[in-house]
Structure 1
Amino acid sequence: MKIAMILGILLLSAAIIIIEFRDTKSKKARRVAAGITLMTAGLTILLFIQPGLPGPTELVKLVFGKIDLIMK
Protein backbone atom coordinates (compact mmCIF):
# COMPACT_ATOMS: atom_id res chain seq x y z
CA MET A 1 0.00 0.00 0.00
CA LYS A 2 2.87 2.35 0.75
CA ILE A 3 4.30 1.77 -2.72
CA ALA A 4 0.99 2.84 -4.29
CA MET A 5 0.93 6.02 -2.19
CA ILE A 6 4.53 6.86 -3.10
CA LEU A 7 3.80 6.27 -6.80
CA GLY A 8 0.74 8.50 -6.49
CA ILE A 9 2.85 11.28 -4.96
CA LEU A 10 5.42 10.94 -7.74
CA LEU A 11 2.75 10.95 -10.48
CA LEU A 12 1.08 14.01 -9.01
CA SER A 13 4.44 15.79 -8.78
CA ALA A 14 5.23 14.89 -12.39
CA ALA A 15 1.86 16.23 -13.49
CA ILE A 16 2.49 19.50 -11.66
CA ILE A 17 5.91 19.86 -13.30
CA ILE A 18 4.52 19.13 -16.77
CA ILE A 19 1.74 21.69 -16.36
CA GLU A 20 4.20 24.29 -15.07
CA PHE A 21 6.52 23.66 -18.02
CA ARG A 22 3.68 24.26 -20.47
CA ASP A 23 2.65 27.53 -18.85
CA THR A 24 6.08 29.16 -18.39
CA LYS A 25 8.59 30.18 -21.02
CA SER A 26 11.48 31.18 -18.78
CA LYS A 27 14.06 28.47 -18.09
CA LYS A 28 14.80 29.95 -14.67
CA ALA A 29 11.14 29.83 -13.64
CA ARG A 30 10.91 26.24 -14.87
CA ARG A 31 13.93 25.23 -12.79
CA VAL A 32 12.57 26.91 -9.68
CA ALA A 33 9.12 25.34 -10.06
CA ALA A 34 10.60 21.89 -10.71
CA GLY A 35 13.03 22.22 -7.79
CA ILE A 36 10.38 23.26 -5.31
CA THR A 37 8.03 20.52 -6.50
CA LEU A 38 10.73 17.84 -6.28
CA MET A 39 11.84 18.97 -2.82
CA THR A 40 8.23 18.93 -1.65
CA ALA A 41 7.67 15.46 -3.10
CA GLY A 42 10.83 14.20 -1.44
CA LEU A 43 9.83 15.64 1.92
CA THR A 44 6.33 14.20 1.56
CA ILE A 45 7.67 10.72 0.82
CA LEU A 46 10.16 10.96 3.68
CA LEU A 47 7.45 12.01 6.14
CA PHE A 48 5.17 9.29 4.79
CA ILE A 49 7.81 6.62 5.43
CA GLN A 50 8.96 8.04 8.80
CA PRO A 51 5.99 9.92 10.33
CA GLY A 52 7.85 10.61 13.57
CA LEU A 53 10.33 12.98 11.93
CA PRO A 54 9.97 16.67 12.72
CA GLY A 55 8.27 18.73 10.04
CA PRO A 56 9.59 21.71 8.12
CA THR A 57 8.35 24.18 10.75
CA GLU A 58 10.81 22.73 13.25
CA LEU A 59 13.66 23.43 10.82
CA VAL A 60 12.49 27.02 10.37
CA LYS A 61 12.31 27.48 14.14
CA LEU A 62 15.81 26.07 14.50
CA VAL A 63 17.31 28.36 11.83
CA PHE A 64 15.43 31.57 12.52
CA GLY A 65 15.02 31.16 16.28
CA LYS A 66 18.69 31.92 16.82
CA ILE A 67 18.52 34.95 14.54
CA ASP A 68 15.56 36.22 16.54
CA LEU A 69 17.57 35.94 19.77
CA ILE A 70 20.50 37.79 18.20
CA MET A 71 18.29 40.64 16.97
CA LYS A 72 16.72 41.28 20.39
Structure 2
Amino acid sequence: MVKLGSVLGLLLLAATIIYVEWKNSEENKVRWITGGITAISAVIGILLLFDPSLPGPGAVVKLLFGGVDKALK
Protein backbone atom coordinates (compact mmCIF):
# COMPACT_ATOMS: atom_id res chain seq x y z
CA MET A 1 0.00 0.00 0.00
CA VAL A 2 2.89 2.36 0.78
CA LYS A 3 4.52 1.66 -2.58
CA LEU A 4 1.29 2.40 -4.40
CA GLY A 5 1.08 5.79 -2.70
CA SER A 6 4.71 6.49 -3.53
CA VAL A 7 4.19 5.54 -7.17
CA LEU A 8 1.10 7.72 -7.44
CA GLY A 9 2.91 10.62 -5.74
CA LEU A 10 5.87 10.29 -8.06
CA LEU A 11 3.61 10.18 -11.12
CA LEU A 12 1.65 13.20 -9.89
CA LEU A 13 4.87 15.13 -9.32
CA ALA A 14 6.22 14.20 -12.77
CA ALA A 15 2.93 15.13 -14.44
CA THR A 16 2.92 18.49 -12.65
CA ILE A 17 6.48 19.23 -13.74
CA ILE A 18 5.69 18.32 -17.35
CA TYR A 19 2.49 20.39 -17.32
CA VAL A 20 4.15 23.51 -15.90
CA GLU A 21 7.13 23.28 -18.23
CA TRP A 22 4.84 22.66 -21.21
CA LYS A 23 2.80 25.77 -20.42
CA ASN A 24 5.81 28.04 -19.76
CA SER A 25 8.04 26.93 -22.63
CA GLU A 26 7.85 28.65 -26.00
CA GLU A 27 9.78 26.13 -28.08
CA ASN A 28 8.33 22.75 -28.96
CA LYS A 29 11.75 21.07 -28.87
CA VAL A 30 12.37 22.20 -25.29
CA ARG A 31 8.93 20.91 -24.29
CA TRP A 32 9.65 17.44 -25.61
CA ILE A 33 13.14 17.27 -24.13
CA THR A 34 11.90 18.36 -20.69
CA GLY A 35 8.99 15.94 -20.84
CA GLY A 36 11.21 13.08 -21.93
CA ILE A 37 13.81 13.62 -19.24
CA THR A 38 11.10 13.95 -16.59
CA ALA A 39 9.34 10.79 -17.79
CA ILE A 40 12.59 8.80 -17.81
CA SER A 41 13.38 10.05 -14.31
CA ALA A 42 9.93 9.01 -13.11
CA VAL A 43 10.37 5.51 -14.54
CA ILE A 44 13.79 5.19 -12.87
CA GLY A 45 12.29 6.37 -9.59
CA ILE A 46 9.51 3.80 -9.79
CA LEU A 47 12.00 1.04 -10.61
CA LEU A 48 14.10 2.04 -7.60
CA LEU A 49 11.02 1.87 -5.37
CA PHE A 50 10.54 -1.79 -6.24
CA ASP A 51 14.22 -2.80 -6.43
CA PRO A 52 16.47 -0.50 -4.39
CA SER A 53 19.53 -2.64 -5.10
CA LEU A 54 19.71 -1.46 -8.72
CA PRO A 55 22.96 0.32 -9.60
CA GLY A 56 23.01 4.09 -9.35
CA PRO A 57 23.74 6.58 -12.11
CA GLY A 58 27.47 6.53 -11.38
CA ALA A 59 27.67 2.80 -12.07
CA VAL A 60 25.75 3.20 -15.32
CA VAL A 61 28.05 6.00 -16.52
CA LYS A 62 31.09 3.93 -15.57
CA LEU A 63 29.69 0.97 -17.51
CA LEU A 64 28.98 3.10 -20.59
CA PHE A 65 32.16 5.18 -20.63
CA GLY A 66 34.65 3.06 -18.68
CA GLY A 67 36.31 1.82 -21.86
CA VAL A 68 36.68 5.34 -23.17
CA ASP A 69 38.39 6.38 -19.93
CA LYS A 70 40.89 3.53 -20.20
CA ALA A 71 41.57 4.29 -23.87
CA LEU A 72 42.32 7.95 -23.12
CA LYS A 73 44.91 7.13 -20.44
With normalisation by structure 2, the TM-score equals 0.95
- In structure 2, the gaps of 5 or more residues are none
Count of paired positions? 72
Whole-angstrom CA distance in 2 between matches of 1:66 and 1:54: 18
User: Aligned residue for 2:34?
Assistant: 33
Q: Percent identity?
A: 43
Of the two structures, which has the highest relative contact order with CA contacts closer than 8 Å and spacing of 6 or more? 2
Could you tell me which residue of structure 2 aligns to residue 2 of structure 1?
3
Stretches of 4+ aligned residues off by more than 6 angstroms = none
Unmatched segments (≥5 aa) in structure 1: none
Q: TM-score of the superposition, structure 1-length normalised?
A: 0.96
